[in-house]
Structure 1
Amino acid sequence: MWKWLHPYAKAENAYRLAGRMLPWFAIPGTLLLLLGTVWGLGFTPTDCKQGDGFRIIYIHVPAAFMSMGTYAAMAIAALIGMVWQIRQADYAVAAFAPVGAAFTVIALATGAIWGKPMWGAWWVWDARLTSELILLFLYLGVIALYNAFPDRTLAGRAAGILALVGVVNLPIIHYSVEWWNTLHQGATISKFEKPSMATSMLWPLLINILAVSLVMGAIGLASFRNEILRRESHRPWVANALGLDVDKSGKEGQA
């Protein structure tokens, strides 16, 4: 397995692999997101307690899942970069941090929109809300650290360390509803034997979680490719990948 992965430690190979994988994430992700969203917003029955306001769950829950899932992926990349000294892993951390931050903002915003009619307030210092806000600050910290140092190797290591340290916040977010008395409800979709939701409501939610996972992967891969191009712009293969001619004097022209 490691021999198969070893060639992708080279930036050019990683760039091309990400390009080949991109459609496999983007196309099914877009189609499933369209299916799940239309099904959830337009065809699921109205909730007996929350009315139609519950339908924001089809955006809020997938975004919240991906805010944590993206950070976990980023931390794994940081660990790979620190242990095996692979530059592309540092690029992945930098590429996925803005994606994860965007999902976290969506989760917080939709949670506030959902919370106003249900709790009577846009924001409360609930354990899960607070830990999710801390996750956003962790994302912003990783982004800031990666851009704070002119030395890219040092920047990658600093951002990677913060990404690894911040992993401790993920179980806090997940188990906060069990550890503390919070306004959030307990486990719903993770109770596979007897879920708390009607199956007519549950299926579009599961589809959207899968869809948003694929969309996150597609956006992350595109961002990863851009980060490689940005960091490897001085390499001759980048000019070839972008369809540029490089003459002997080093000047570039459109092919």
Structure 2
Amino acid sequence: MVNPKTYYSFFAKFIPALLLISVGSLAAALLWMLSYSDTTAIGQADIYWVFYLHLAASVTAIFCYCVVVIGSVFHLLHNKALMPIVFSHGFAPSGFVMTLFALGSGALFGRPMWGAFWIWDSRLTALLILLFFFAAFISLSASRVNNSRELNDKKAAISALLGLVLIPGLYFFFDLFTPMAHDLDNSLLRSNGRDAYILMSLFGVNLFCYALAMSLGRCRTVILEREKRAVWAQEAALEGEL
């Protein structure tokens, strides 16, 4: 099995490149929006830019949850392995932030449903449920109710698997994909697909690379938290390499 020190150093090599790609794709998206994009033919003008951002954030959040679930499965099967915990605990905060971002952009794009009623929009309700599962995983894994870290990790992993069962059913129950597909078809038909494909791709790369960079940074922190008594971690701390 690969030493955690190897993962710690390996992750550090990718974070700057991912952040650079994220900034570059965001700059390209802004350049396209301000110079070439024409959303007036769609019927809602520039508000569709928010929709493309909402789609990218939603897909990135779901990707992060998939990583959390896969890490949780491997942890339950091999509870002594470190890396499943590192990946699931590293990607959960990024998934929480992306889901929150998708909720905010979806509320901005959606119809004016302010107050307590806006959450009943099917897309936002499904994302809100996903947000609760991310929050449950993070809270359980960081719980201080008992002194057993292993028990907390197991509770968090079980909560992630529970979300794996419930979230797909709730997504279809709340009819998440139908209104989103309708909005996307409307955008593709009226804009000839140009703005949709370009902006969704650029926003997708931007948010995905940013979330991945933040997740790998958090993974490095989890490795240090779990390996703080290891010789390599103490030596690296004394040499100022952490």
* TM-score, length basis structure 2: 0.83
* Bigger RCO (CA 8 Å, 6+ sep): 2
Percent identity (aligned): 25
1:28 — aligned with what? Answer: 21
More helix by share: 2
Distance in 2 between residues matched to 1:144 and 1:66, nearest whole Å: 21
Q: What's 2:48 paired with?
A: 54
Task: Show CA shifts across 1:111-130 (max 9, x none).
Answer: 11122xxx232314133221
- Residue 92 of structure 1 corresponds to 87
Contact 1:97 1:142 in 2 (8 A): yes
1:94–1:205 distance in 2 versus 1, CA, 3 Å: same
CA distance in 2 between partners of 1:169 and 1:70 (Å): 16
CA contact (8 A) 2:68 2:91 kept: yes
Counterpart of 1:154 (choices 125, 143, 151) is 151
Counterpart residue number, 1:3: none
Question: Does 2:192 match 1:198?
Answer: yes
Residue 14 to residue 204, structure 1, CA distance change in 2 (3 Å): same
How do 1:21-170 residues align onto structure 2 when only pairs under 5 Å count? 21-40=14-33, 42-48=35-41, 49-85=43-79, 86-115=81-110, 119-122=111-114, 123-148=118-143, 149-170=146-167
Offset, 1:167: 1.6
CA contact (8 A) 1:229 1:238 kept: yes
Counterpart Cα distance in 2 of 1:199 and 1:175: 26
Structure 2 gaps, min length 5: none
Correspondences of 1:167-182 after superposition (within 5 Å): 167-172=164-169, 175=172, 179=175
- Measure how far apart 1:132 and its partner are: 1.0
Distance 1:25 1:67 in 2: 17
Three-state SS of the structure 2 residue aligned to 1:50 is: coil
Gap change, CA 1:84 and 1:106, over 3 Å in 2:
same
- Runs of 4 or more off by more than 4 Å in structure 1? 172-177, 179-182, 194-197
Change (3 A) 1:137 1:12: same
Rounded Cα–Cα distance in structure 1 between residues aligned with 2:22 and 2:136: 29
Aligned amino acid, residue 97 of structure 2: A
**Change over 3 Å in CA distance of 1:171–1:84 after alignment to 2:** same
Count of residue correspondences: 232
Q: Does 1:210 align with 2:202?
A: no
Alignment gaps of 5+ in structure 1: 1-5, 246-252
CA distance in structure 2 between the aligned counterparts of 1:64 and 1:254, rounded to whole angstroms: 36
Measured in 2, the distance between the counterparts of 1:62 and 1:23 equals 21
